[in-house]
Structure 1
């Protein structure tokens, strides 16, 4: 298995606040230096639907993603994210079957 990806779909009228929250969470996790954390993440906006966003988060494995999800600070981040969203979020949990690097 090449890894694990979680896609979070959400709507928000506060994308700058969501980005700031995500950056603060990343900085804290890097400073703490403990436990598994995402390999990378990408925040995307939907060109066809205003206020619709996706965040794609890559992990080394499903196990590391679940361990990350169980952390109290991840729960705090998720709760703060929900406060910035205009409605419920939707999660997609995906096993990476193939990874191709075109660079």
Structure 2
């Protein structure tokens, strides 16, 4: 079953967050189990962000989460956010495109 993790948070250091994410993406090339990632910024509240990360399964997400590079990224991200982010862990029940 496909799995999506949504990370919701706030940062006043948005540009630094984007740079960190890009660095992590480049370092993880070929090793990450992420299938797709979408970074968003709230149009009405520019300090609020959500990141949607798509995986083949929950197990695949946990495999990615346990990688040392992911742990390092998470620690660095925590230095850039304004308070702890909220994680939404979602099993995909149906996926349609039109």
If the length of structure 2 is used for normalisation, what is the TM-score? 0.93
Matched residue of 1:41: which SS?
A: strand
Partner of residue 24, structure 2: 25
- Cα distance per residue 1:28-85 (max 9 Å; x no partner): 111xx33x42101111111232301000000111000001001111010000001010
Aligned residues: 98
What's the C-alpha RMSD, in Å, of the aligned pairs?
1.1
Q: Structure 1: which 5+ residue stretches go unaligned?
A: none
Superposition pairs for residues 1-103 of structure 1, below 5 Å?
A: 1=1, 3-30=2-29, 33-34=30-31, 36-102=32-98
Q: Structure 2: which 5+ residue stretches go unaligned?
A: none
Matched residue of 2:37: which SS?
A: strand
> Distance in 1 between the 2:97 and 2:17 partners?
28
